Amino acid sequence: MRYALHAEYTKLRTLPSTGWLLLAVVALTVGVGAAAAATVSCHATGCGYDAPKLALSGVLAGQAVVALLAITAVTGEHSTGTAAVTLAAVPRRGRVLVAKAIVLAGLTGAAGTVGVLCSVLVARLLLPGNGFTAANGYPPLSLADGATLRAAAGSVLYLILIALFGLGVGTAARDAAASVGVTGGVVYVLQIAPFLVTDPDWQQALWRLSPTNAGLTIQATRNLSAYPLGPWAGLGVLAAWTTVALAIGAVLSHRRDL
């Protein structure tokens, strides 16, 4: 397993695209978060905004790049034929998948942590200028605050789970375009699905089903009772999606030739 891990790490590290994609994860997460923090303003007490959630809103954009990184890490091997080289070197397919998962989780976790920390820092600097002041009920953003810390750490976990979801889909589909389609559909189309129906029960059900809506409750720090799911239960929905995708990928890679 150690050898397989080392190989997968070297493999990803020596692809020029990996560095750029990780940089893009940080840039998008921080950039979108900063844009949100710079444009939203609070003029009175109880303006209702969830400041940590606002600061971390870039995660919604960053996750696209995270998924892309994970998908290309596996589908790129199939399009170039190096998948055969990988399996000749490490014939146990489960081991290859686990090694890829650990390496992707590590890289995503690192980039995600940088992105999330910078987002919080930038928002901490920008928000007071837009009325998010202690007088209006918004003390400066701080990771010393339990809910904020949970939102920040949970956002990193969220990004890791998205990466692993992309890995599972990519392993199952083997094709980049198909994987991007499936992942994009699950992540973004299911996200807006609740707003396309009028029946409140269906809205709730679809909302709970969406890994994005449910998963991002981990960022909620205010008004938690308004959400259909608690923060950790919400992240659990994404974890379930990820588990299913990885399981399908694992089973298919065992069953199929190559």
List of residues contacting other proteins (CB under 8 A): 2-4, 6-11, 14-17, 76-77, 80-82, 84-92, 257-258
Contact assessment for residue 120 and residue 141, using Cβ atoms and an 8 Å cutoff:
yes
Contacts for 55 with CB less than 8 Å, ≥ 6 apart: 33, 36, 37, 119, 120, 122, 123, 124, 127, 141
Give the residue among 159, 147, 2 at the shortest CA–CA distance from 66.
Answer: 159
- At its nearest, how many Å lie between other proteins and the CB of residue 77? 8
Our CB check for other proteins shows the closer of 199 and 257 to be 257
Angle, helix 146-173 to helix 59-80, in steps of 10 degrees: 20
16-50 as b/e: b if 16+ CB within 10 A = eebeebbebbbbbbbbbbbebbeebebeeeeeebb
Closer to other proteins by Cβ: residue 84 or 224: 84
**Shorter beta-carbon distance to other proteins: residue 77 or 191:** 77
In this complex, which beta carbon is closest to other proteins, that of residue 76 or of residue 137? 76
Minimum CB distance to other proteins, residue 192 (Å): 35
Cα–Cα dist 145/155, whole Å: 15
Minimal distance, residue 86 CB to other proteins, in Å: 8
DSSP code at position 24: H
CB-based burial of residue 240 (10 Å sphere; 0-12 exposed, 13-18 middle, 19+ buried)? middle
Give min distance, CB of 12 to other proteins, in A: 9
- CB 159 to other proteins: min, Å: 24
Q: Are 218 and 154 contacting, i.e. CB atoms less than 8 angstroms apart?
A: yes
- Decide whether 86 or 213 has the Cβ nearer to other proteins: 86
Which CB, 90 or 205, lies closer to other proteins? 90
CB of 11 to other proteins, least distance (A): 4
